[in-house]
Amino acid sequence: MNEVNPRRLALGDELRLLRESAGLSGKRLAEQLGWPASKVSRIERARQAVTDSDLVAVAAALTLDSVQLAQLRDELRAIRLEEARWSRQLRAGHRPVQDVVAVAERDARRIRGFSITLVPGLLQTAEYARHVFTSLAEMHESPRDTEDAVRARMERQQVLYDETKTIELLMTEAALWFPAAPSSVMLAQIDRLITLQGLPALRLGIIPLGAQLPAGITHNFVMKDDVVTIELITTELATRAPEDVQLFERYLDRLWSVAAEGDDARAILTRAARQVADAADHSTR
């Protein structure tokens, strides 16, 4: 972490005081937990991000009660929410965020995603992505590093050609009917989706307009192995809690049950392209 969050420093201090109250040195606590000797010191000085499982382990070693553990976990959760806010993540623009996502995608064996009103980032053309980043920078009043962000997003798409991965991307037909870019850009984007259908590592699904959804859903999310990332307007939430992962797996499985794939998805894309072209012709008359 280049810039230490004061709340992480405060949490580290609290852990140090609890350890000292228990009469343990940092080295002794690390030995009990089977950690590297320096890990306790790094956590207490906020040089290493503490995890929820770290807190549970420390609480057990220090014989903290359930109330103390709950308070520590609540504070860590609040810190994560604060750090995940887009206003914080985007202070240096969209490129750094894209770089972080790229690392997670390269490391993941399985990527599953659902998008409601936008074409998934891994499938976007450069021009479509340019319009998306421009509008997001305007809404969040963040630095406009659009060209760098577009290049980073295009670089991310190399994972589509890694046949050792399983990539399942699901979108709604509404993403084609609420265009994020002009007609010419949308036509190129639709053509790109048709072309990508043939990639061995990619499963592309489109939920048709009018399909009866098995459950209501109001936000985009991505699963990378056992981590779920949920995108909200103000923030981004991540969880690896088994019950959360299982819930999102169920949601995705049921959404896929009403999705069009293969030739059916191609028919939706072809129809959408025709409608976009017709609308463009009509507007120029």
pLDDT at 78: 84
How is residue 211 annotated by DSSP?
-
Among the residue ranges 117-121, 168-172, 193-197, 241-245, the one predicted with the least confidence is 241-245
Q: Which two tokens stand for residue 46?
A: 């906020």
Cβ atoms within 10 Å, residue 109: 10
Q: What is the CATH number of domain 6-84?
A: 1.10.260.40
Q: What is the pLDDT of residues 155-170, one digit of tens each?
A: 999 999 999 999 999 9
Whole-prediction pTM: 0.75
Give the confidence band of 283 by pLDDT, cuts at 50, 70, 90: low
The answer on pLDDT for 5 being more than 90 is: no
What pLDDT score was predicted for residue 274?
94
Q: Is the pLDDT of residue 1 over 50?
A: no
Which range, of 14-23, 111-120, 139-148, 233-242, averages the lowest pLDDT?
233-242
How far apart CA 131 and CA 187 sit, in angstroms, is 14
Q: What's residue 256's pLDDT?
A: 97
Q: Buried b / exposed e across 233-255, counting CB within 10 Å, b at 16+?
A: eebbbebeeeebbeebeebbeeb
Q: Work out the number of other CB atoms within 10 angstroms of the CB of residue 277.
A: 15
* Mean pLDDT for the chain overall: 92
| Contact between residue 79 and residue 220 where contact means Cβ atoms under 8 Å apart | no
Domain range list for the chain: 6-84, 91-284
The helix or strand, by DSSP H or E, that contains position 153, with its residue range, turns out to be: helix 146-156
Question: Would you put residue 170 in left (φ > 0), alpha (ψ -120 to 50) or beta?
Answer: beta
| Token pair listed for 250 | 């169920």
* pLDDT tens-digit map of 15-62: 999 999 999 999 999 999 999 989 999 999 999 989 999 999 999 999
pLDDT of residue 87: 76
Fold for the domain defined by 91-284: Endonuclease; Chain A (3.30.870)
